[in-house]
Amino acid sequence: MTAWSAVNAGSSLSTFNVRRTVGPDAGRTFRFVPLRPAVKLAILNPLAPTVGKKFAVVAEAQDAFNLPQPTTGGTLTLSLVSGTGTLTGNLTATLNPGQSRVVFRNLQYSVAQPGVQVSVSGLSLTPGTATFTVSPVPPELLYESGPLVTNPAEGANFADASVITDGLGIFGFQHSVASGLRVAMPITVPPGQGWRIDSLVFFAYQTGSTTTSTITSVNLRIWRGTPGAPGSEIIFGNTTTNRLNQTRFSGIYRVTSSTLTDVQRPIMAQRVLPSTSATLVLGPGTYWLDWQTGGSLTSGPWVPPISIEGQLTTGNARQFNGTTWVDLLDNGFPQGLPFQVYGQVIPGVPFTTVTQTAPAPVGNPSTIDFPDLNFTFIADITTAGTLTVNYYLGPPAPSTPPTNIVRVSSYYWDVTNVGTVFTNGRVRSNIARLLGVVNPSTLRWLRRPNSSQPWSDLGGTVISGNLQSTNFFNAFSEFSIGSETLDNPLPVELTSFTGNATAQGVRLQWQTASELNNAGFIIMRSAVSADGETISPASAIASYETATELRGKGTTASSTAYSFLDNTVEAGKTYLYRLRSVDFDGTVHDYPTTVRVEVREPVQARVYEYALEQNYPNPFNPTTTIPFTMKEAGTATLIITDILGRTVLSETIQARAGENQYRFVANNLGSGLYFYTLRAPGFQQTRKMMLLK
């Protein structure tokens, strides 16, 4: 009996189909490919990679009819035919005898651009090519402060509704350019990473507008520290530059529960670019976004608060009322404001960086401004080129200053030059935007060729509110500000200090940009009334001598994050916190920045058990935090060993009941796997961590 019957065949007989007539597969059709010699290579898979992300290329040996054919085996090579970037990864692959297909894995391309072409070649076959577009890394949502929609699809024309919560009464808060009022909200960049800020989204409405936006402008400032608080400073932006990129109807109306379909307050979403010419990367720490919106109607613009059904307190926003910064309240309840931050997480960023590139045209003189960096270059330029300036909001690497300089700023600039030829170079900055300046007359510009060289004095003179260098230079390098007197506190060491009431107590967090001979911190606390009057004087509630998480880093130019939980607070009281640092020689420094925290709910009593938690960050370099919990106050021993069992640290800790932290610094250790063990009465636990240098 015949087992197969013909179904069809092409005139070229490149393939033919047959149907099984008997057996378990009776009725099924099979495709047969005649064995022919492979004559060419082809790339099979569609390619749409993202810059810097791994992708793969699948290559196949084919005959003249574009059908796969086995080969005798050999090496195939993938190469870049066109494109300005770099192709890396497994660019060679072995095609085994009898196989027709191979995969090039772990490929990456360094530049986002269209028209990238790759070719696969080898085995004396005709090469195969593919042309594709490499997309940029899409911005990700880094942070969202809170919701705005309370009733999805219940507004007019099935739009979303943002309903005023029962017990509250404000539709929105004034922050218009015309009124001079502003609003602000905090964001926190976690330790061990930076945020490249690509765009921000703010929300506002003008009463009586249609769904066609009437918003015309948004200006932005970024504070290090709470706006208006002593010691807080503006590190980016101004009140005049319009940074609005796009505005549209958000699909949300601001309404009351009894007027769900009201259309008087359509909320617009504003996409704001921090800069169209500069790249902003925020380093670890707490910052405040401070913004103001303009519109073409007379009403507002108004910013609606974060809205959560049944929740009266929604955040800790602040408002500039034309005179001073105050808490944003509705019927006495603190309110938050909705916004979104888009960008990219960049691991290992120690502090905030702003980068800007500009052409340097021929001129005598020629002036090139970098407005978002507060940096201007002036010179006699004979050959045009391009300048790139990086502004670092962190201390430069230590080096010897001129003998007349007693302080060097904790921020600096470096300049990269492509093609510019110049003489008689000078630099200047707006003094009002320089951090930590009290006495401008004693300021000097400093310059050094690189971080390993000593600083030289470029001089300084005040011209129309700007500090300008007086000594010419003819090459680029690093620049900073020096002071001839101690009254300019240029090393701004404390970059942020915040506090929040939690169910477990008041959580305090702060960040330093640098430390000098710092043994540790002491937490000072006083009780205050609602209007700020002191009820009980400040006293120390915790010290680095007994709390390991308060120990300082000695001397370091790196940023450090600290955290402390005060679980001895009482409901119904308001507390004022201040930081005090102590040098190794006993010198005491009291920081001017204070944090006021109102405790509304009783602190929940917690029953603790012994526990050793995973360190963070992990992997780390060179500092990491080891959290652990004690059932009761007492002595604990922390032991750290390497992979060979050798002890690299053994320390006895006087720990308190509850949560504790130990900060481990591995400056003198090599990369590798380490084990840490906590021993306490009746308890021992070991975990592992990875040091990567």
DSSP codes of every residue in 578-645: EEEEEETT--EEEEEEEEEEEE-SPPPP-----EEPPPBSSSBSSEEEEEEEESSSEEEEEEEEETT-
Structure tokens at 122: 């080898």
DSSP codes of every residue in 480-525: EEEESSTTS-----EEEEEEEEETTEEEEEEEES-EEEEEEEEEEE
* pTM beyond cutoff 0.85: no
Place of tokens 């218009």: 176
Residue 506 CB burial class (10 angstroms; 0-12, 13-18, ≥19) = buried
Rg (CA), the chain: 32
Nearest Cα residue to 577 out of 600, 561, 593, 563: 593
CATH superfamily of 40-134: Immunoglobulins (2.60.40.10)
Q: What is the pLDDT of residue 277?
A: 78
Kindly provide the b/e burial profile for residues 309-320, where b requires at least 16 CB atoms within 10 angstroms of the residue's own CB: eeeebbbbbbbb
**Kind and range of the H or E run holding 75:** strand 74-82
Contacts of 232 (CB under 8 A, 6+ apart): 223, 224, 225, 226, 288, 593
Q: What is the pLDDT of residue 247?
A: 94
Helix (H, G, I), strand (E, B) or coil at 158: helix
Cα 540–chain centre separation:
34
Omega before 301 within 30 of 0, i.e. cis: yes
Cβ atoms 226, 187 nearer than 8 A: no
Q: What is the pLDDT of residue 328?
A: 93
Q: What is the pLDDT of residue 660?
A: 85
Contacts of 531 (CB under 8 A, 6+ apart): none
CA angle 384, 385, 390 (to 5 degrees): 140
Q: What is the pLDDT of residue 23?
A: 63
CA angle 371, 493, 459 (to 5 degrees): 55
Structure tokens at 471: 């000594």
Domain ranges of the chain: 1-28, 40-134, 140-346, 352-483, 494-599, 611-691
Kindly provide the b/e burial profile for residues 120-134, where b requires at least 16 CB atoms within 10 angstroms of the residue's own CB: bbbeebebbebebeb
Fold of the 494-599 domain: Immunoglobulin-like (2.60.40)
Q: What is the pLDDT of residue 18?
A: 57
Tell me how far apart the alpha carbons of residues 39 and 664 are, in angstroms, rounded to a whole number: 62
Tell me phi and psi for residue 308, to 5 degrees. -130, 120
Q: What is the pLDDT of residue 61?
A: 93
Cβ atoms 447, 398 nearer than 8 A: no
Place of tokens 């005060």: 566
Query: What is the edge-to-edge ordering of all strands in the sheet holding 634-642?
Result: 647-655, 634-642, 672-680, 683-691
Identity at 148, one-letter amino acid code:
L
CA separation, residue 235 to residues 93, 189, 433, 440 (Å): 51, 15, 8, 18
DSSP codes of every residue in 415-483: EEEES-EEEEEEEEEEGGGSTT-S-GGGEEEEEESSTTSPPEEEE-EEETTEEE--S-BSS--EEEEEE
Partners of 81 in the β-ladder = none
Q: What is the pLDDT of residue 34?
A: 64
Cβ atoms 250, 265 nearer than 8 A: no
Structure tokens at 396: 């430069």
> pLDDT averaged over consecutive 10-residue blocks of the chain (693 residues)?
50 52 62 75 84 85 89 94 93 92 89 91 94 80 90 84 93 95 91 86 96 96 81 83 92 93 94 86 88 95 93 91 92 93 85 89 94 92 93 83 86 92 94 81 92 92 94 92 73 72 89 74 88 78 83 73 88 89 69 84 78 88 87 90 88 84 86 92 91 84
CATH annotation of 611-691 = 2.60.40.3080
Structure tokens at 65: 């009819």
Structure tokens at 197: 């800020």
Same fold, 40-134 and 494-599: yes
CA separation, residue 143 to residues 18, 139, 536 (Å): 60, 12, 38
Tell me phi and psi for residue 407, to 5 degrees. -145, 145
Nearest Cα residue to 611 out of 683, 549, 688, 661: 683
